[in-house]
């Protein structure tokens, strides 16, 4: 269970830390000029994003987090994995964004994030207790 918890922590870290960098790397996409057709607009946006390495590196790391998440779901309880990975992702996004100069979320969002993280910790702790109890029953 500890390995699963570390994997979910890594997933949350990869997803959360890369989100602000992806946002920074994609700045200016909305300013791509309207060329009159959807196809040309799509190609212009694709050319703009395709040429930005500072978009693709965090995007690739984010996708590595997704691969690890799917890998972790093979053995993890989905009722624990989903809220843990997502809450950690949200917390790491807020922290990284703040470190990059973005505005800190409001009090309600911070309190909500802390409560979700505490709930996730309690869920992991409960699963660890259940595993210990089932192992002690198996030995008797």
Q: Higher confidence at residue 95 or residue 69?
A: 69
In which residue are the tokens 């700045």 written?
A: 27
**Mean pLDDT, the chain, whole residue set:** 85
> What are 49-87's pLDDT values in tens digits?
788 888 899 999 999 999 999 999 999 888 888 888 888
d(CA 22, CA 14): 12
**Domain containing residue 31:** 2-139
- Total of domains in the chain: 1
The two three-digit tokens of residue 31, written as one number: 């300013």
């Amino acid at each position: 269970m500890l390995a699963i918890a570390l994997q979910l922590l890594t997933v949350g870290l990869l997803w959360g830390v890369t989100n602000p960098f992806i946002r920074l790397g994609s700045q200016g996409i909305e300013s791509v000029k309207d060329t009159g057709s959807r196809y040309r607009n799509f190609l212009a946006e694709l050319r703009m994003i395709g040429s930005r390495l500072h978009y693709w590196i965090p995007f690739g790391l984010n996708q590595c987090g997704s691969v690890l998440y799917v890998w972790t779901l093979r053995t993890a309880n989905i009722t624990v994995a989903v809220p843990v990975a997502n809450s950690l992702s949200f917390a790491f996004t807020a922290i990284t964004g703040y470190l990059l100069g973005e505005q800190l979320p409001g009090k309600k969002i911070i309190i909500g994030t802390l409560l979700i993280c505490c709930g996730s910790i309690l869920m992991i702790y409960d699963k660890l207790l259940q595993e210990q109890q089932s192992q002690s029953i198996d030995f008797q």
